[in-house]
Structure formats: structure tokens, C-alpha cells
Structure 1
Amino acid sequence: MKYTEYDDKTLKHLQSLELMILKDFIKFCEKNNLTYYIYAGSMLGAIRHNGFIPWDDDLDVVMFRDDYERFKKVFLASPNEKYKLLSSETEDDYFHTLSKLMLKDTLFEEKWVDQVDFHVGINIDIFVLDDLSDDNFKRNYQLKKAFLYNKLLIMSKIKLDDLPFLTKTITHLGHYILKLFRVKPSTLHKRCLNFLMKYKNPNSRHVFDISATAEEYPQIYLKDDFKDIIKVKFEDIEVNVPKNYDNILKSLYGDYMQLPPEEDRYNHITEHLDFGPYAD
């Protein structure tokens, strides 16, 4: 069971800090005319619980590529004493295709952290939606190549041991090959972005999230499902949710209003959690 057994006080405090980050993120987006949506498990939490899923220890938002790139550009243009953006622009070792808005002087680290040269603090995840070709042949090629880029980025920096034997063997071999040829995550990020921008098309009917890989493919959505925005209660604030959230949540979770059995409730396996100056 992929589950960290937090005591109630620790989990509630962690969620309160993530909510603080979200509030500041929303203010930044509104000030700079950027569109965001609450996403994934956080969208599910907003609809089913009007806030965090009770056992959840992270918070997710998503942006279309143009807003996402502009967010990074504007945020990185001026120093910020409170937050740091973890992305390929700020860390050569960074191997995710999403970014993290991180609270400085805190720690929220998983067990792979000893394999990289950066620290991860308490954060919210910022995912991105990219255009997907409407041509079936091009779409399949795009999805498979995106899936490959996502896996190569991970393998280029870290080795994951909690995998089935064959998968672990293949990924470890890939890691050593990439290391031998000195292929860095920063190089792969640039190539991946160039590849994604090649298919940029405002008239495409579908978008996908390269980081949300299920089986062979990243997660696919109808672009129109994100067309209109509604406000939904999330803890003590209201957040942006796509009006057609039902289609999105069904594609992610099926019967999403049904609570999963306890053995299927999961969150991060944290190696280090430190609230720093934000401790009680």
C-alpha cells in the first residue's frame, strides 16, 4: 500500500501549507491574467470533498502550454523570498515534465532525493496540457514518443528500486546507458519541448498531459472539456474547475464519487518532511 501514515495533526498542517501555496499561486495567476485549473486528485477532492481528499498529501493544478510557459517566464523574472520554482529552467538535474512551486526552507522529499543535487520543499505540482494531433497516425506517434521522453527523463537521473524485477532491470540498464553517454535531463527537456511545440495547434480537438502516463499512453482529454470554467469550494476558498469536470474525472477515476477501498488509498512515501519556519 503506497501510503504514508501521517498523524492527523501533521497531515492537516501539511495540507494547510499547501493551501497557502495554492492561494498565493492563484493571486499570481489573477494578477498576470493566467488561466489555471485545479487538477487530478485535487479536482476530485474539490468535487467529492470540497477540499483535500482526507488522506491526500499533495495539491495539483494544470495549465495549458501557453499559460504555463508564461507563468514560468514571469515568475522567474524577479526574485521571490518565499517560493522557488523547481523546473528544468532552475535545476539541471530536474527530471519531471511538470514544475513544482516550492515553499523555501521546508522539506518534502521522497526516497530518490539522494540521487539528485536539489532539495524538494513542500509544494504544489503544476502540470501542463499540450495539443495533440487529430490525425490518428500522428497522434499515436506523438503519444508514444511523449511516453518515451517521460521515461527517459526519469531514467537519465534516478534509479527506481520498488519496481517489478524485469521493469527494474530495464530501467536500471537505461539509466547506466544514458549516464555513459552523458545525457542530462536538461538536454532531454529541450528536445522534448521542441517535439511538443512541433504539434502546437490551437484548433486541435484534444490535449494531453505528458506526465500522467498510464500503461503506454499519457492522459488524453477533449480540449472543449476545459473551455468553460466554474468556481468550486476547496477548503476555505473557491478554485477554478473545468465546467465539464465530470468527463475529466471519469476518464481519470471511473466512478469517482465512490470512495476507494482502504488498500487503494495512496499518497507519497516521504523520506524527509520538515516544516522549517512554518512549524506549529
Structure 2
Amino acid sequence: MLETRSEMNRLAGQAEILHRMDEATRKKLQHELVGMYMDIQSVCRQHQLTVMLAGGSALGAARHSGFIPWDDDLDLMMPRKDYDLFLKIFGPSLSQKYILTSPNTLTHSKNLFAKIYKKGTEFLELQDIGTPFPHGIFVDIFPIENVPENKVVRIIKGLLADIISYVTVSVFYFRYGNRFFKEYMSANRRAKWNYRLRITIGFMFSFVSHRQWCNFFDSFVRSSHPGRYVTIPTGRKHYRGEIIERAKLFPPVHADFECHQVKVPRDNDAYLKNLYGDYMKIPPVEHREQHYIVRIDLGTI
């Protein structure tokens, strides 16, 4: 949304309601997230479903054998077929401890992908104030989608997917915006105009509910025709930027993560280079991605 991570960090520092997470709390949160992963992994192993680390978590496994030291979330991904089955078995398997939200389910999802929240915890970000969605600590699960073999069709579908994603997020801002987030986004001219554009587009397309847009995007990007390439449309680089050869992801291999065995893409080096370029280089402090939170409560550990 903003041009650089450093700009986001600077704006967040100006918002009195936000604060950085201290090191002790971050370590406790990371410990909780590993426990959530182990529960998810156990269910996936029981039902022979493939789940592996994604994004910054896969980067952490490669560079730190665990979390990136300043990271405070956990990203996973699953092939669409396994992802859909996981959504169906979640209730009897994990609902006693966790809450699941995802498009095209009975729950209204804030995001375009599945999010699992731990009951009895709180992780409140600025854009979540006043929304009806869960606010607990969470693990993200991104579906891996088949990509059309025809290059032209692939480009067109990718462009449309990115447009639908942009509209959906804009409708979220319009429908669930709060004054604190508006003030945060008004602290800089570039951010202010970006936010105004989002609100305008959100208003224009709000004749369809945010939930319907999420469901539409989820249905649009899926494909039952496997080919040479796959993508993670809800990843950091979106549909076109995340396209990669299927053989680079599957079958996944084991890696160390916080003294546990986890699964990562088969060619994790190729996957991470596509996302980050020279991923082994430690970024300067001002470019390190981090959440600025309103409130956090890890419950009883």
C-alpha cells in the first residue's frame, strides 16, 4: 500500500495508539505459533494432506532455522485440493482450540485466504478495530492454485485476479474503516491519496458485499486442471508474481524450524529467490517488515 517498508514504519511510529512488540512478548508469540503449526501439521499428517511453510516463514527456515528474529507471524500453504479438504475437516479436528475463517465457508472472512485464530488470545491491529472478525493470534494458510498452460490466458487471468483482489481490499477499507486507520493513512501525502483511492473504489464497488467479493475471488483463481505451473494468488507478489514451476514446490522436503521438523518447497532456494531476490542478505532495520499492534494478549501459556 505504501511505497517502502521504512515509510510504513515511520508512519506507524507517529500513531500514538500503535506500539512495537517487545522482544519477550515476540518470543512468547513465536512459541505459541509453533504450537499452532504442530496442531495443524498433526491433522494434515493424519489425513495425508500436504502443508508447508510459505513466504517469510520459509525464508526463516532457510536463513535462521526458525523465525526471522523480528517476525511475529507464521505463513503456510497447501495445494488447493488439500486446502479444501482441510477446511472441511477443521471443525471436528481443531475447532475446540481454534477459529477458522476462509472465503466460501460459513464464516465471513476478512482475508482472501484461510486464517486460523487461537481462542482465548488477542492480536489487534489498527485496521481490525471495530470489525466483526476474530482478533486472536493467527496462522495464515494460502492455497496453491493451478495455472493455465496457455501463456495469454495465464496473463489475462493474472491481471483479472489482481484487479479483483484490489477491489476486494478496497471494499474492506470502505466498509470496515475506522478513524484511527484513517488518521494513520493521512500522515503522509502519498499514503493519504492511496487511501482516498482505495475508499473511492471501495465505495464504487460496495454494491457487492465484502464477503461476496472474497468468495468471488476465491472461486475465480481456483482451477482443477493441473499443468506445469502453479501460483499462490494471495501471496506477497500476487497471482503473476508468484507463478512457479510445480516441480519447484512438490514434493516438499523437510527442514529445521525452531528445533522442529517442518516441510518447505522442494527447491526452497528457487522459491525464495522468486520472492525476495538475494534472500540471505539481512535487510536494514528500516526495511524489516513488522506488525504495529494496538493490543496483544497471549492468554495463559
- Please give the TM-score of this superposition, normalised by the length of structure 2: 0.84
Task: Give the equivalent residue in structure 2 for 1:164.
Answer: 191
Residue in structure 1 matched with residue 169 of structure 2 by the alignment: 154
Which has the larger strand fraction? 1
Say whether the 8 Å CA contact 2:118–2:138 is kept in structure 1: yes
The 10-residue stretch of structure 1 (110-119 or 156-165) with the greater mean CA deviation from structure 2: 156-165
Of stretches 185-194 and 56-65 in structure 1, the one that deviates more from structure 2 is 185-194
- Structure in which a larger fraction of residues adopt helix: 2
Structural mapping, 1:61-72, within 5 Å: 61-72=76-87
Matched, 1:50 2:65: yes
Which stretch of structure 1 is more off in the superposition, 137-146 or 183-192?
183-192
Q: Which moved more, 1:70-79 or 1:109-118?
A: 70-79
Distance change in 2, residues 1:78/1:8 (3 Å): closer
Q: Give the Å deviation of 1:36.
A: 0.7
Change (3 A) 1:215 1:205: closer
* Corresponding residue of 2:296: 273
1:193 to 1:185, Cα distance in 2 relative to 1, 3 A? same
Corresponding residue SS for 2:261:
strand
What is the deviation of 1:157? 2.0
Flag the 1:6–1:212 CA change in 2: closer, same or farther, 3 A.
same
2:107 maps to 1:91: yes
Partner in structure 2 of residue 184 of structure 1: 209
Give secondary structure in 2 for the equivalent of 1:276. Answer: coil
- The answer to whether structure 1 residue 15 and structure 2 residue 38 are counterparts is no
The Cα of 1:65 is off from its aligned counterpart by 0.6
**1:258-279 Cα deviation digits (max 9, x unpaired):** 111111112112122111233x
Question: Are residues 1:200 and 2:215 paired?
Answer: no
- Which of 242-251 and 162-171 deviates more? 162-171
- After the TM superposition, which parts of structure 1 deviate over 6 Å for at least 4 consecutive aligned residues? none
CA distance in 1, matches of 2:245, 2:34: 28
SS at match of 1:249: helix
SS of match in other structure, 2:233:
strand
Matches of 2:36 and 2:236 in 1, distance apart? 26
Q: Is the 8 A contact 1:150 1:210 kept in 2?
A: no
Match of 1:34 in 2: 49
Could you say what secondary structure the match of 1:126 adopts? strand
Q: How does 1:96-111 map to 2 (within 5 A)?
A: 96-111=111-126
In the other structure, the counterpart of 2:283 is: 260
Which range moved further: 64-73 or 80-89?
Answer: 80-89
Residues 164, 85 of structure 1: alpha-carbon distance in 2 compared, 3 angstrom cutoff: same
The offset of 1:77, in angstroms, is: 4.9
Percent same amino acid among aligned pairs?
29
Among 159, 173, 180, the residue aligned to 2:200 = 173
Change (3 A) 1:257 1:5: same
Shift of the alpha carbon at 1:115? 4.5
CA distance in 1, matches of 2:196, 2:236: 20
Which structure 2 segments of 5+ residues have no match? 1-5, 10-18
**1:90 to partner: Cα distance:** 4.4
- 1:148 alignment partner AA: I
The alpha carbon displacement at 1:213 in A equals 4.9
Once residues 87 and 174 of structure 1 are traced to their aligned partners in structure 2, the CA distance between those partners, rounded to angstroms, is: 23
Deviation at 1:45, TM superposition (A): 0.5
Residue 74 of structure 2 corresponds to 59
Secondary structure, counterpart of 2:232 in structure 1: strand
Distance (whole Å) between structure 2 residues aligned to residue 185 and residue 215 of structure 1: 19
Q: Deviations over 1:34-73 (max 9, x none)?
A: 1011111000100110000000000111001111111001
Deviation readout 1:227-255 (Å, 9 max, x if unpaired): 23221110121100122111000001111
Change (3 A) 1:66 1:215: closer
Does the 8 Å CA contact 1:147/1:213 hold for their aligned counterparts?
A: no
Give the RMSD, CA atoms, in angstroms. Answer: 2.0
Q: For residues 54 and 265 of structure 2, what CA distance do their matches in structure 1 show?
A: 9
Q: Which moved more, 1:29-38 or 1:150-159?
A: 150-159
Query: How many residues are aligned here?
Result: 273
Q: Secondary structure at the match of 2:234?
A: strand
- The CA deviation at 1:169 is 1.9
1:224 and 2:224 are equivalent in the alignment: no
> What pairs up with 1:102-141 in 2 under 5 angstroms?
102-141=117-156
Distance in 2 between the 1:14 and 1:230 partners?
26
